[in-house]
Structure 1
Amino acid sequence: MILTVTLNVALDVTYLVHGVDWNGVNRVRAVHRRAGGKGVNVARVLAALGHEVITTGVAGGPTGDAVLADLALAGIAAAFTPIAAESRTTLVVSDPEIDPAVPASHRTAGGNALFNEPGPVVTAEEIARFLSHYRGLLAQADAVVMSGSLPRGVRADFYAVLTAMAADHGVPAIVDADGASLRHAVTGRPTIVKPNADELARAVLPGIPAGSAQPPPGVPQPPPGAAEAAVLRDAGAESVVVSLGADGLLAVTPQGSWRARVPYALAGNPTGAGDALVAGLALGLVEGMPWPERLRRATALGAAAVAAPVAGDFDLGVYDALHPAITITPFP
């Protein structure tokens, strides 16, 4: 069983709007409302792939109730700690194409805008209850994935605490976080951290050396981000996988370093693509899959998620077509 942790769970609302007019009235073509948050999205992908998964975190208020009801409807096992404050809502406005009826001065050129509420305030007593619950769930887990932002009231080093607890139970941990929570998380010695390029740049702050040594003449230059990934490994992460959007990903691991590339870019909604990628990494981890094949599957899942309209889904046809076409190249 894979356990996913979403401390800042959300009710995700996605508006599909063709040709957004930011100065006028817009007609929403379709609305999707579902349980969300990065760990929940990971759980959805794992469940769709037929793997046993339990998702946990904290949830409260009517919004939290809606999240739990949606998870039950989707058949995803959920074990959330109740809190008094209201869980958050997120809004994605997805504009896949230009509508010629909208004046050029008012419309967008397509794209996706994400609006994230800050989330609830969690009390020290509620955090203690969650930790007790989490400890019990670890006894059943083959791996744990902790993803996303932390709600207010939760310390920035909380992922390091959860990772260390997992290590005490012999459970490998994957962390997908940003900012201070990512910088602290590596001190808990996670098995894998998965930042994107921007998150990696924020994690390696000024004053933290990213390495300035150049390879000898004739030796290929490592790709951008490799030196920063090595810094996170030196700080405690066993492996670092950096998602690069349409450019694929790079991985720096004890077994070697690789760059994965997709053969062509896909249009769509990138929200949740990183979560699908993490689901692939988690599966590869529990299955003991060699890193190149692990990265191939993760990259294909991330790209296939872009082709799906809602975070937590992926297009199986796109995945099947892309998987054999992903190129995996080692680098020094």
Structure 2
Amino acid sequence: MILTVTLNTALDLTYGVPELVPHASHRVSDISERPGGKGLNVARVLSALGHETVVTGFAGGSTGTVLRELLAGLSPQDTRSRNTEPGAPEADVPRTGPRTGATGTSPEGQDDRAIPADAAPAPHASSAARSAPAPITDALVTVAGNTRRTIAVVDRTTGDTTQLNEPGPLVSADEWSAFLVRYRELLAGADAVALCGSLPPGIHVGAYAELVRPARAAGVPVLLDTSGEPLRRGIAARPDLIKPNADELAQLTGSRDPLRATRDARRRGAHGVVASLGPDGMLAVTPDGVWRASPPDRVRGNPTGAGDSAVAGLLSGLVEGLAWPDRLRRAVALSAATVLSPTAGDFDRTAYEELLPRVDVEEHRPAA
């Protein structure tokens, strides 16, 4: 099982407009809503790759209810199998928990729920065979505040996206403590954990460092994907891998040179660093070597979720024991295929299969 942590979950709304014009009214041509936040996007892709995934973090209020119903594959109108109030009785819902460790109810009185994923299957990096989508288990912790919304406005003429992100609910000290108990229980059955995204109001800036330490103590590989001061604090706890983009890496290290900045990030505590360089691919500096992976073609579309798909590629490759070049090849192909999909958390399967064998991975060898 792979555990993904999304402390600031979101209901992702995508509005398509024929053309986005500043200071003008627009008629929306198409609308979609999905359960979102970086870790939930990662989980959706992992499921499509055939990996059983548990998602945890916070959800609350009416938006949180809709998020969980969508995550479960239910329509917002059908709530008979779900009651999100702590301790409330529930209708029969299929459940699966981690392979080992604690099962049963969460600190908030909510059972883990096995969720049939609706994402399309995709092949692994070294195989053309497709895996059946694996279940995603909902282990989110209920909070009193309302889960945030993110709004992506996609210009269907240019393919460009304008993103609006709400801040998220205020999380209390008691809610944070309840989450920590649940997180430690879930680590017992995890093969790897991804800590993803921004922190909601009320969570201290060193929260990710607090989550990295028990994962490492349990021997669970941990990937950290955040930015700013939470990344700076988290990296000091020595995560196994971080995945900053170019701007986040420059903010962390003060350098715009990708190789220099990535090496600097390793010196600050990360065992491995994979820098996302946008259309130029990825750069990995690891204990096993340095590689650069580049997509065969530049793609244009909605970049929302592309970094999350890359995280899924890296994590799945780690759990499967793939060599670094194959992990990077998968991550780059998934990222590019996500840009070609209009909705966060999805990737274009046909594009992924076509791109995968064409991703170029070169090992960097220091000059003699």
- If the length of structure 1 is used for normalisation, what is the TM-score? 0.90
d(CA) in 2 for partners of 1:288, 1:51: 13
The residue number in structure 1 matching 2:57 is 57
Which is richer in helix?
A: 1
Q: Secondary structure at the match of 1:188?
A: coil
Superposition pairs of residues 13-32 of structure 1, within 5 angstroms: 13-32=13-32
d(CA) in 2 for partners of 1:96, 1:175: 33
Q: Which residue among 166, 176, 186 is the counterpart of 2:225?
A: 176
Q: Does 1:328 align with 2:356?
A: no
Letter in 1 for 2:240: T
Letter in 2 for 1:170: G
Superposition pairs of residues 4-43 of structure 1, within 5 angstroms: 4-43=4-43
Q: Which runs of 4+ in 1 moved over 3 A?
A: none
Q: Does 1:97 align with 2:157?
A: yes
Q: CA deviation at 1:43?
A: 0.2
Q: Which residue among 140, 148, 173 is the counterpart of 2:197?
A: 148
Q: Does 1:269 align with 2:318?
A: no
d(CA) in 1 for partners of 2:147, 2:243: 25
For the 8 Å contact 1:160–1:184, the answer to whether it is kept is yes
Q: Does 1:306 align with 2:306?
A: no
Q: CA deviation at 1:24?
A: 2.0
d(CA) in 1 for partners of 2:338, 2:314: 14
Q: CA deviation at 1:21?
A: 2.1
Q: Secondary structure at the match of 2:223?
A: strand
Deviations 1:261-316 (A, max 9, x none): 11111111000000000000001111111101110011100000111110100011
For the 8 Å contact 1:58–1:81, the answer to whether it is kept is yes
Deviations 1:45-102 (A, max 9, x none): 011111100110011101111111111116231101111111100000011315xxxx
Letter in 2 for 1:11: L
Q: CA deviation at 1:228?
A: 1.0
d(CA) in 2 for partners of 1:204, 1:224: 10
Letter in 2 for 1:295: L
The residue number in structure 2 matching 1:70 is 70
d(CA) in 2 for partners of 1:321, 1:47: 20
Aligned-pair Cα RMSD in Å: 1.2
The residue number in structure 1 matching 2:181 is 132
Q: Does 1:199 align with 2:287?
A: no
Q: Does 1:81 align with 2:130?
A: no
d(CA) in 2 for partners of 1:320, 1:287: 18
Letter in 1 for 2:190: A
- If the length of structure 2 is used for normalisation, what is the TM-score? 0.81
For the 8 Å contact 1:146–1:176, the answer to whether it is kept is yes
The residue number in structure 2 matching 1:111 is 160
Letter in 2 for 1:91: I
Letter in 2 for 1:193: I
Q: Which residue among 289, 300, 321 is the counterpart of 1:256?
A: 289
% same residue: 50
In structure 2, list runs of 5 or more residues that go unmatched: 74-114, 117-135
For the 8 Å contact 1:196–1:242, the answer to whether it is kept is yes
Q: CA deviation at 1:27?
A: 1.5
Q: Which residue among 351, 355, 360 is the counterpart of 1:318?
A: 351
d(CA) in 1 for partners of 2:156, 2:225: 27
Q: Secondary structure at the match of 1:144?
A: strand
The residue number in structure 2 matching 1:239 is 272
